Amino acid sequence: MPDASAFRAGFVAVIGRPNVGKSTLVNALVGHKISIVTPKPQTTRHRILGIHTSADTQIIFVDTPGLHRNAGKAMNRMMNRAAINALQDADLILFMCEAGRWISDDQNAFDRATGASAPVMALLNKIDKVHPKEELLHAIAAMSARFDFVEVIPVSARQHDNLDRLMAAIPKYLPESAPLFPEEMFTDRSESFRVAELVREQLTLNLRQEIPYGLTVQIEQFDKQDEGVDVRAVIWVERDSQKGIVVGKGGSILKKVGRAVRLELKRQLGRPVHIELWVKVKENWADNEEQLQRLGYDPG
Ligand code: GDP
Ligand code: MG
């Protein structure tokens, strides 16, 4: 057994603008799909913990909604708040951007990350897209000049490139502490939360640009038995006109979404899955604090 006093445990907040690859990174580091990923910004709406426990360290990654400046509706404000709260509680901040790309939302997230009190490490993600490779040296130099980062590490979250270097760099910034979560636990979120997220991931992948932002998913039934899992989920949309779009011609979208979620869940849970999806209207749910809380949104 390792010496208990030498064990380290702490919170590592992953911060950056929408779509830089935060959730992809946390999934890769934890080795489980705890957070959904799509090519669209603002996919992650909640603060989600991804826990990695080894013989002498427990790293608690905090996946956050991307910090963005255009925070109109209550839900968007809450998403920003969740990210900001994660910064305040962090022992270490991983500020993520795309290698060689810098837009105004990056600057906003950078200002927040570097304004917090914890040490900040910079991650330049998506290095698989950088050609020629000398460009990367410029990107690292430019990043290092922006702030006194404790490290600047180029990675590819999607291709698992350089993640071992990142993992090796983290423990020394964590306090000595006993583990904060049981060692077999890899997320703080329930299975039914993850199912709702998988439904939203498939909807986001299968619907036109703006529709996914107006919907949320609520699990009405999650019955897990040895012989199978029974799920009933409601997809809430903001307006009646969105209902038909989400259902699709002859139910085509719902069928496609249901099938994809069923296969993914079967893979994750190792048993057959039956899933029922319903679409209902709740006007302006995304701009109503009370509705948001009832639907499981909290500022983390
Ligand atoms: P988040 O909004 O910051 O959580 O970003 P996601 O993890 O949802 O990823 C956004 C998009 O970037 C998805 O399409 C990912 O597949 C893609 N992505 C993430 N990491 C990488 C990477 O290392 N390389 C490339 N090429 N794409 C990536
Ligand atoms: Mg995300």
Q: What's the number of domains the chain is made of? A: 2
Q: Is the pLDDT assigned to residue 2 strictly greater than 60?
A: no
Whole-angstrom distance, CA of residue 251 vs CA of residue 279 = 11
- Residue 185 inside a domain? The answer is no
| One domain for residues 150 and 277 | no
Q: Are residues 58 and 159 in the same domain?
A: yes
Calpha distance 151→121 (Å, rounded) = 5
Q: pLDDT by residue (tens digit) across 158-186?
A: 999 999 999 999 999 999 999 999 999 99
Are 11 and 105 in a shared domain?
yes
Same structural domain, 84 and 162 = yes
Residue 117 to residue 91: CA distance in whole angstroms: 9
- Tell me, yes or no, whether 125 and 14 share the same domain: yes
For the CA of 156, the nearest atom of ligand 1 = 23
- CB of 114 within 8 A of CB of 126? no
Q: Is residue 138 located within the same domain as residue 168?
A: yes
Other Cβ atoms less than 10 A from the Cβ of 228: the count is 13
Q: Which residue has the higher pLDDT, 182 or 2?
A: 182
CATH number at residue 63: 3.40.50.300
Q: Which residue among 122, 138, 173 closes a domain?
A: 173
Report whether residue 39 contacts ligand 1, using a CB cutoff of 6 Å: yes
User: Which ligand does the CA of 154 lie closest to?
Assistant: 1
Q: For ligand 1, say whether the CB of 183 is within 6 Å of any of its atoms.
A: no
Chain center to CA of 142? 27
Ligand nearest to the CA of 25: 1
User: Is 183 inside any structural domain?
Assistant: no
Atom of ligand 1 nearest to the CA of 155: 23
Q: Looking at the CA of residue 42, tell me the nearest atom of ligand 1.
A: 2
User: Which CATH number goes with the domain that contains 207?
Assistant: 3.30.300.20
Query: Looking at the structure, do residues 157 and 196 belong to the same domain, yes or no?
Result: no
- Same domain, yes or no: 130 and 257: no
Instruction: Kindly state the tokens that stand for 57.
Output: 């360290």
Clarify whether residues 139 and 271 are in a common domain: no
CA of 20 to the centre of ligand 1 (A): 6
Question: Is the CB of residue 251 less than 8 Å from the CB of residue 206?
Answer: no
- 299 — pLDDT class (breaks 50, 70, 90): low
Residue 102 lies in a domain: yes
- Residue 300 pLDDT more than 80? no
Print the domain residue range for 41: 4-173
211 and 167 part of one domain: no
If you search the block for the tokens 């107006």, which residue do you land on? 214
Q: Has residue 120 been placed in a domain?
A: yes
Q: Which of 147, 173, 199 is the last residue before a domain boundary?
A: 173
Helix, coil or strand: residue 199: helix
CA 268 to chain centre: 18
Q: What is the pLDDT of residue 28?
A: 98
pLDDT of 5 strictly over 70:
no
* 130 pocket-lining for ligand 1 (C-beta < 6 Å): no
Nearest ligand to the CA of 48 is: 2
C-alpha angle 251-254-259 in degrees, rounded to nearest 5: 120
pLDDT higher at 1 or 167: 167
Answer yes or no: do 129 and 277 share one domain. Answer: no
Is 32 in contact with 187 (CB distance < 8 Å)?
yes
Amino acid found at 250: G
Q: Which of 116, 140, 173 is the last residue of a domain?
A: 173
Distance, CA 65 to ligand 1 centroid (Å)? Answer: 13
Pairing mode, if any, of strands 273-281 and 57-63? unpaired
* 186 belongs to a structural domain: no
152 lines ligand 1 (CB under 6 A): no
Q: Whose alpha carbon is nearest atom 11 of ligand 1?
A: 39
Separation of alpha carbons 107 and 109, rounded Å: 6
126, 86 Cβ separation under 8 angstroms? no
**Nearest bound ligand to CA 40?**
1
Å from CA of 225 to ligand 2 middle? 30
| Pocket of ligand 1 contains residue 43 by CB under 6 Å | yes
Placement of tokens 């979404």 in the chain: 257
**Residue percentage of the chain with pLDDT more than 70:** 97
Q: Is 160 in the pocket of ligand 1 (CB under 6 A)?
A: no
Whether 23 maps to a domain, the answer reads yes
| pLDDT tens string 68-126 | 887 678 998 899 899 999 999 999 999 999 999 999 999 999 999 999 999 999 999 99
- pLDDT of amino acid 210: 86
Query: Does residue 21 fall inside a structural domain?
Result: yes
Residue whose tokens read 């085509």: 252
Q: Does the C-beta of 23 come closer than 6 Å to ligand 1?
A: yes
Q: How would residue 258 be classed by pLDDT, with cut points 50, 70 and 90?
A: very high
Residue 49: pLDDT above 80? Answer: yes
Each residue's pLDDT tens digit, 122-139? 999 999 999 998 999 999
Q: Are 220 and 277 contained in the same domain?
A: yes
DSSP H stretches of helix in the chain: 22-30, 74-89, 104-115, 134-146, 163-169, 191-206, 240-247, 252-269, 289-294
pLDDT > 90: percent of the chain:
84
Indicate if ligand 1 lies below 6 Å from the C-beta of 40: no
- What phi and psi, each to the nearest 5 degrees, are found at residue 83? -70, -40
Residue 300 maps to a domain: no
Q: Is the CB of 212 under 6 A from ligand 1?
A: no
On whether the CB atoms of residues 217 and 199 are closer than 8 A, the answer is: yes
Average predicted confidence (pLDDT) for the chain: 94
Please provide residue 9's backbone torsions phi and psi, each rounded to the nearest 5 degrees. -150, 140
pTM, two decimals, is: 0.94
pLDDT one-digit tens code per residue, 195-233 = 999 999 999 999 987 899 999 999 999 999 999 999 999
Centroid of chain to Cα 198: 12
